[in-house]
Amino acid sequence: MEVQPLTDPAPSTIWPADDARRAHYEQSAVFMDTVVTIRVPRPPSTRRCAEDVGRAFAWFQKVERRCTRFNPGSELMRACAQVGTPCAVSEVLFEAVQFALAVAEASGGAFDPTVGGALEEAGFDRNFRTGMTHRHEPPDGRRPTYRDIRLDPDRATIEVRKPLVLDLGAVAKGLAIDLAAQELAAYADFVVEAGGDMVARGRNDSGEPWRVGIRHPDDPTVLIDAIEVSGAAVCTSGGYERVRERGAGHHILEPRTGRSPAETRSVTVVEDTAMAADAMATAAFVLGPVAGRAFLERHDAEGLFISPSGRHAATAGWRRDWK
Amino acid sequence: MTAGREPGGRHPARRAGREPAEVPARRPATTQPSSRRAGAAPKGRRIGTRLAALSSAAILSIYAAGYLRTQAAEQQALAFDPTPTPGGGVTTSTPATTPTTAAGYRDGTYVGLGKSRHGDIEVTLVVQAGRIASAQITSCRTRYPCSYISGLQGQVVQRQSTHVDRVSGASDSSKAFVSAVTAALAQAT
């Protein structure tokens, strides 16, 4: 099984108060270099639930296999290798790239999936679990941007117009979470969590809304905030935990400069889908607390920014319950 | 060129004008109920083409393509090791009803789960008279022996906090333990 560091650090998740723990079904597996957990409180049938959860997990494998940049043979990397030629791709990859480009456009390039080449240059060329490195020649001249990618929705093709490496790290994990959640749509209550990013629906084992803790970026023992979520996605992008080996900085790069933003330590976004929440958290992280907050509010998303000093700022609509 | 191409036509939904009508009827049309903002007051903001709406459309489009259903064989060959943990029998704990004491924590028994890439750790925390009386590792599903970090249990009681020493060589497990204690303690505050 191939893996890829879809990089987002985990805010601690508060699992239900177990004093009222009743029958639930829970399963964990490692995908995308992180632990994925699906929990369904009170399933009508454990056997049936196990099958449904198995299908939900299968989406993680499908998304990962197609969208990884750590396997030269992946669909993503094959599309990147055919410079100047439209490349027919799967629905999964096409939609992931299309959404990534929409966020790039909406954020004025603060979010840019073509940051893959810059990530490799910065030393993020290694699969964190296998230790294998993947390195491509840096592009000549001007740094590529999202405008160097052309999509044809009718033919479902992707064309890269100049040599570049696409990095779908900020959308692929969220997409897999959302597809898994879609697979579980028949259930009123469940949570799909991958490395601190999650979709929570309905109620927890105790019949209460799911509680999600947002931890301090530098001190996992300190909770900055705890929110209640029922029917929403919560994703965090942060510049901690995966520090690059060479030079200063972390794994989220400002696409236009190739440097890591230092103003913010983490951004947590609540949205309808994990794909939107994750990508918007990354964009807001790059934009910083002022422009990032305006960006989130413009798109009717809510977010919490934590600065290196620990101070935090939030969108006007940030509250502690999303029910 | 795509070796793993889906049989039976690649993008049925796209060919059919991207109608999500091919989603099986038993499934609701959206991933999550849109109740999140139902109770919220109007914010007076521009809501243009919300990115969230685009993402929902993308998810439905993929789902409607029937991609997964055509690959049942592959699914059965899934590499992950299913370790289902049907609930009920893992741990039980007593509800906490005592009000918060001067010492800070609410009496009761709390369970917290911490995760690492090597596995999960469950800690059962007992608070008596407002103090942490014990912090037991009640479930250790890590790849490594739990004895590596068992010394941390006493430190939580001694220091009355989650600030425990990291164990060299078991840093992930230590972090998972701290996360579990934090999660349990969060219920006691």
Mean pLDDT for B131-145 is 81
Q: Looking at the predicted structure, is the pLDDT value of residue B9 above 90?
A: no
Q: Looking at the predicted structure, is the pLDDT value of residue A103 above 50?
A: yes
Q: Looking at the predicted structure, is the pLDDT value of residue B151 above 50?
A: yes
Mean of all residue pLDDT scores within chain B? 61
pLDDT per position as a tens digit, A18-28: 434 457 889 98
Q: Looking at the predicted structure, is the pLDDT value of residue A172 above 90?
A: yes
**With an 8 Å Cβ cutoff, is A313 touching chain B?**
no
Backbone angle region of A296, left / alpha / beta, with phi > 0 → left and psi within -120 to 50 → alpha: alpha
A95 contacts B61? CB cut-off 8 A: yes
- Residues B51 and B49: their CA atoms lie apart, in Å, by 6
**Residue A220 is nearest to which of B13, B110, B175, comparing CB atoms?**
B175
Burial of A294-307, coded b for 16+ CB within 10 Å and e otherwise, reads: ebbbbbbbbbbbbb
Structure tokens that stand for A235 in this block? 């994703």
**With an 8 Å Cβ cutoff, is A298 touching chain B?**
yes
pLDDT tier, A10 (very low <50, low <70, confident <90, very high otherwise): very low
At how many degrees (to 10) do helices A46-67 and A91-106 cross? 70
- AA letter at A108: G
Of the two residues A291 and B3, the one the predictor is more confident about is A291
Q: Looking at the predicted structure, is the pLDDT value of residue A74 above 60?
A: yes
Of the two residues B15 and A74, the one the predictor is more confident about is A74
Across the A:B interface, residue pairs with CB atoms under 8 Å apart total 252
Of the two residues B105 and B40, the one the predictor is more confident about is B105
Which residue(s) pair with B132 in the sheet?
Answer: B127
Which residue(s) pair with B178 in the sheet?
Answer: none
Please state the length of chain B: 189
**ipTM of the complex as predicted:** 0.81
CA dihedral B110, A34, A174, A314 (to 10 degrees): 50
Label residue B158 exposed, middle or buried (CB < 10 Å: 0-12, 13-18, 19+): exposed
Q: What is the pLDDT of residue A35?
A: 87
Mean pLDDT for A122-135 is 50
Mean pLDDT for B11-19 is 38
Of the two residues B137 and A221, the one the predictor is more confident about is B137
Q: Looking at the predicted structure, is the pLDDT value of residue B29 above 60?
A: no
Chain B residues within 8 A of A25 when measuring between CB atoms: 84-87
pLDDT tier, B100 (very low <50, low <70, confident <90, very high otherwise): very low
The alpha-carbon gap from A171 to the nearest alpha carbon of chain B, in Å, equals 10
Q: Looking at the predicted structure, is the pLDDT value of residue A147 above 50?
A: yes
pLDDT tier, A153 (very low <50, low <70, confident <90, very high otherwise): confident
Name residues 40-79 of chain B within 8 A of A (Cβ): 40, 43, 45-48, 50-56, 58-63, 65, 67-68, 71, 75, 78-79
A17 contacts B67? CB cut-off 8 A: no
**Residue A221 is nearest to which of B2, B178, B187, comparing CB atoms?**
B178
Q: In what order do the strands lie in the sheet with A149-152?
A: A87-88, A157-160, A149-152
Of the two residues B107 and B150, the one the predictor is more confident about is B107
Task: Name the closest residue on chain A to residue B72, using Cα atoms.
Answer: A55
Mean pLDDT for B76-99 is 32
Alpha helices (H) in A190-273, listed in sequence order:
none
Identify the sign of the CA torsion B30, A234, A281, B47.
positive
pLDDT tier, B179 (very low <50, low <70, confident <90, very high otherwise): confident
